[in-house]
Each structure stands twice: as C-alpha cells, then as structure tokens.
Chain A
Amino acid sequence: MSHANRRVLPGFSLSLGYTLFYLSVLVVLPILACFSKAASLTASQFWAAVWTERTRAAYALTFGTSFVAAAVNVALGLLIAWVLVRYRFPGRRVMDALIDLPLALPTAVGGLVYASLYVKKGWLGQYLVPLGIQAAYSRLAIVLVLVFIGLPFVVRTVQPVLEDLDAEAEEAAASLGATRWQSFYRVILPPLYPALLTGFALAFARSLGEYGSVVFVSGNMPYKTEIAPVLIVARLEEFAYGEATAIAVVLLVISLALLVVINALDRWSRRSEAHA
C-alpha cells in the first residue's frame, strides 16, 4: 500500500479509472442532476414546493416516526445484544442470525405482512384492535414497521463493543461493593454510548428514506399518515417534477448531513474503544 506499489503491481490506472468512471456515472451525476433541477426553480417556487402545510406535515411525520422508531431500537437493540453476548441458551445462534432478516427481507414483503398482521382480522390485530390499539393504517403502524427495518443496526453496532468490554472493570466494581445494577449503569453502559448513538443514527437515517414497507402499512393519508418519500411519489405522479425534486433535495441534504454525523460518530466510537 504505497507509491512503490505503482511500479510493481499492475492495474492502478485501469482500476482507479474505472472506479471513478462508474462512481461518476451512477452516483455523482444523478445527484448533481437532482441539485441542478432544483436550482432551476426560483427561490419562491422552491419555497412554495418545500414549505406547504402538507409537506410540513409529511416532514414532521417522517422525522417523528423515524426518531421514535430509532429510540425504540436503541432499547431493544441493547437488550438483544446483551442477551446474545452475555448469556448462553439454546437457540442463541438462530436468534443471532434472525437479527439480520430485516436486511435480507424485501421491504415490500415486510410491509405486506405487517399490514395484514395488525388489521382487525389479523393474527395480532384481533387482540389489539378491541383494546383500541390500531397498529395498521396509522402512525403506530409506521413506527412498528420502522422498528422492524431498523432492528439490526443497534444490535450490530453494540454487539462487538460489548464483546470486547474489559471484565476487570466490572470485577473491580463488584469487589468494591457495587450492586449488579450499579455496575451496569456506571461501568458497563458508558463505554457503550458511542455505539448506541451510532446505531441510533444508522437506524434513523435508514428510516428517513424508507418507502417500500411504509407505503403498505400507513394508509398514505395526506396530512395524517403521508411520509415525505410518499409525497415525492405523489408529486411525480402528478408530473410535478420540480416540486418533487425540491422535496427530494431537502431529504437529500438531511441524509448527507446525517452521513457526515455517522462517520464522525464512528470515528469517536473507534477511538473510545481503543482507549478502553
């Protein structure tokens, strides 16, 4: 991995050239096309597309549900990672493998199943709907399906940190008379914060853009259960390309900002792992 390599190993210009070519054509140019289309709108046109009551409701719903789902994922992810790392029980490896299912399962399938599980006659809806819990075609339905989609992220960021955690600190805490709860809260949890936050950000970012599963379960009612990507599609189907692009650019800028935050978090989490 050095300049000297360029004289020994073949294929530097070919591989780098192809990489740059493919990256530009497939990723960079489309993103630029999106920004340039948005730039062709006047400021007032852009503002009018981006800041209406309907788009505000869609942003608020997208952010709100993604935030709640990611927060739920932090709690569930910590629980599952803890059980997988610390305990030995029959079926542990199966549980470990199942955590990745939401990544492998097409989102449309997830949406289809969640939509039919929680309706009034569904397997779970028949118990929940009489209690007044509407987990299909509601905001709760969106949160539920986003929790499913985001499940692997926190588990997979926390798991390796928990595995590498030094046993000595816990031993010391125990020998100094800390209760199990105190040593969890004071000794185990703090080194996990960066990983938990990274997992949160990853799940949150994934949820913000999610479309395939939400479109099945939410009912897509404007002002009520319409998320931002659904609104983009609705604008596209009205052939309002400019407005669709304006909303897309807002989403894109937020996602890119989140990417920067996630990278910074990741570096922080690696640093604190190295210190521990």
Chain B
Amino acid sequence: MPERPPVPPARRVRHAQQDPFWVRWTLTLLAAAVVGLLVVVPVVHVFVGALSGGLGAYWQNLFGDPDTRHSILLTLTVVPGALAANIAFGLAAAWAIARFDFPGRTLLTSMIDLPFSVSPVVAGLMFVLIFGLQGYLGPFLQAHDVKILFATPGLILATAFVTFPFVARELIPVMQAIGDEEETAAVSLGADGWQMFRRITLPNIKWGLLYGIILCNARAMGEFGAVYVVSGHIAGQTDTMPLRVEKLFQEYNLPGSFAVASLLTLLAVLTLVVKVFLEARVPSERRNVH
C-alpha cells in the first residue's frame, strides 16, 4: 500500500473550520432568504410597480407631469451643489488632518462624524431656526430679500449637512496610508502647491476620492428628512425627487410615485456596481462603515 501523503497544514486548518454539509446549506439558504426578502424583493417590486402600466405610461409618469419633471431638475441642481461643497471641504480637511500635526487634531477628526448622528429632521429644524422668519437671521434676510429657506439654497445647505462626513472620512485614511514622501520630494524639487496637488496628491487619492463622492452622491440624491423640513414642500418649486415620491404617494398616484422611485433605485443599484468596482482599488481596511 502506498504511503499516504501528509495533509498540508492549510487543509487541516480548513477542516477544523469546516461545518457539516447540512449546516452550511441551511445557513446559506437562510441568509439568502433574508437578503432576498429584505432587499431583492423590494427592488424588484419598485420596477414592477413602475412598469405595471407599460413603457408608454412609465414615460408619461416621468416626463409628462411638469411637477415631476421639475423635481428631477431640482435634484440635479441640489446634489451637485452639496457635492461640490463637501468635496472642497473633504480635500481641505484630509490635507490638514493627514499631513500636519496640530493640537485638537483628534477632536476635529471625530467632529467630522457629528452630522451622521444627528437625525435628518433635527438637521432640517436647525436651518429653520437660523434662516426661518422667526429665526436668528430671518429678519435680516427678509430685509435684504434673500431667500434661503423654502428655496434651493436651503435645500443645498440641508443636503450638505447630512452628507458632510462622506468625502472627508474616505480621504483621511487614504492620505494617511499613502504618506507624504512624494509630496515632500515634489516641493523640495521646487513644485508649487498647485503643481504638487495636481501632479502628486490628486492622482494618488483619485480612487478614494471617487469612492467618497459616490457614497456622498447616493446619500444626497436620497435625502428626505432634512430636505422635507427646509423645503416647505411646494410642488413644482421645492420638491426634490424623494419628496416627489412622497407627494405622489399621498395623492394615491402609485404608478407616478413608483416611476420616480424607479429612477432613484436605478441610481442606487448603479452606485453599488461602481462601489464594487472601486473597492478593488481601495484596500478594505481603510474603509469605514456608514
């Protein structure tokens, strides 16, 4: 009888961690059922609900209704505004925190996460307290005929608040992991700040930056509570897409509501696809939950 080859250590390890066949399959099927019921069925339902009247009705629901059209345009205005503000902040915060040492750095880092733990409704309320007619700046703004609340600037502010941490908290660990050797070298060789940023920093952090932007974008598109409070929900004026979903739902216009929801769902699914693509480029230990 030939001698049995020794079991390689990797196999032995796997054996100790191996569950019996039936346990493996029961648990896998259970997990699949949970994900299916909680996530897959709802997504399928959105598209079935949106397309239940046929493609013609779907198109009509999306682009035939002037208020719905306006809500799409408004979302396409508000989201880039909030994104631009948070990208500029994220770059500045990551540069200051990852590249320099100063008193209060740890405190500053944890304060960046603050908006995540504020209820969106409370966030909206804060802006009402500042910019509303009864608010701290209300009378001043009215005297100078500046409209912030119940108008696009208020929507941008509320959205920027809610999505505030996304870009910064992606960039800080990425910049820290890359280190400052290349940048220091560039500067000692005579590059000015802008050249260094464009040629060294930006190419190094581009995937992390894009990752933060994608997450920020998804949340900004879908923001509801904060925007609901500051918008005053005026149809055709201050309704963003998620607010339009709610209004159509309240008006028992389910096909219309599902049509707008299907666009938002499409964006969410697209976000996940891009995210998986980017995760291959940004090592996972640098990423955070949220």
Interface residue ranges, A against B (CB under 8 Å): 1-3, 5-6, 8-12, 14-16, 18-20, 22-23, 26-31, 33-34, 37, 76, 79-80, 82-84, 86-87, 89, 91, 93, 95, 97-110, 112-117, 123-124, 147-148, 151-153, 156-157, 160, 167-168, 170-171, 174-175, 180, 199, 202, 205, 208-212, 215-216, 229, 232-233, 236, 241, 244-245, 248, 251-252, 255-256, 258-259, 262-263
Contact check, B242 vs A99: say whether CB atoms are below 8 A apart.
Answer: no
Contact check, A241 vs B129: say whether CB atoms are below 8 A apart.
Answer: yes
Contact partner of A215 (CB less than 8 A), chosen from B34, B37, B215, B246, is B246
B271 → chain A closest CB, angstroms? 4
B-side contacts of A34, CB under 8 Å: 122, 125-126, 129
B49 → chain A closest CB, angstroms? 7
Subset of 11 A-B contacts with CB under 8 Å: A9-B99, A30-B127, A79-B30, A97-B275, A103-B218, A113-B45, A233-B229, A241-B134, A252-B119, A255-B119, A256-B114
Give the B interface residue count (CB, 8 A).
110
B224 interfacial by beta-carbon distance below 8 Å? yes
Task: State in angstroms the CA–CA spacing of A211 and B38 once bound together.
Answer: 18
B-side contacts of A26, CB under 8 Å: 85, 157, 160-161, 164
Task: State in angstroms the CA–CA spacing of A105 and B221 once bound together.
Answer: 9
Task: State in angstroms the CA–CA spacing of A118 and B241 once bound together.
Answer: 24
The chain A residue with its CB closest to the CB of B284 is: A160
Contact check, A19 vs B108: say whether CB atoms are below 8 A apart.
Answer: yes
Contact check, A174 vs B16: say whether CB atoms are below 8 A apart.
Answer: yes
Contact check, B101 vs A1: say whether CB atoms are below 8 A apart.
Answer: yes
| A contact face: mostly helix, strand, loop, or mixed | helix
Task: State in angstroms the CA–CA spacing of A233 and B114 once bound together.
Answer: 22
Task: State in angstroms the CA–CA spacing of A107 and B135 once bound together.
Answer: 29
A-side contacts of B258, CB under 8 Å: 112
Contact check, B35 vs A212: say whether CB atoms are below 8 A apart.
Answer: no
Contact partner of A12 (CB less than 8 A), chosen from B100, B254, B275, is B100
Sample of 16 further A-B pairs with CB below 8 A, known A241-B128, A259-B114: A31-B114, A33-B130, A83-B27, A102-B39, A103-B219, A104-B271, A104-B272, A109-B264, A109-B268, A116-B45, A167-B13, A205-B117, A210-B119, A229-B120, A233-B121, A255-B119
Task: State in angstroms the CA–CA spacing of A236 and B41 once bound together.
Answer: 35
B127 → chain A closest CB, angstroms? 6
Q: What are the interface flags for B54-92 relative to A under an 8 Å C-beta threshold, 1 for contact and 0 otherwise?
A: 000000000000000000000000000000010011011
The chain A residue with its CB closest to the CB of B12 is: A171
Task: State in angstroms the CA–CA spacing of A35 and B249 once bound together.
Answer: 35
Task: State in angstroms the CA–CA spacing of A95 and B33 once bound together.
Answer: 11
Contact check, A107 vs B39: say whether CB atoms are below 8 A apart.
Answer: no
Task: Scan residues 221-265 of chain B and give those whose CB is less than 8 A from a CB of chain A.
Answer: 221-225, 228-229, 241-243, 245-246, 249, 254, 257-258, 261, 264-265
B245 → chain A closest CB, angstroms? 5
B115 interfacial by beta-carbon distance below 8 Å? yes
B23 interfacial by beta-carbon distance below 8 Å? yes
The chain A residue with its CB closest to the CB of B214 is: A104
Contact partner of A112 (CB less than 8 A), chosen from B129, B176, B257, is B257
Contact check, A108 vs B261: say whether CB atoms are below 8 A apart.
Answer: yes
Which of B139-147, B181-189, B205-213 interfaces with chain A?
Answer: B181-189
Best-buried of A102, A104, A151 by chain B (most CB within 10 Å):
A104
B42 interfacial by beta-carbon distance below 8 Å? yes
Contact check, A9 vs B27: say whether CB atoms are below 8 A apart.
Answer: no
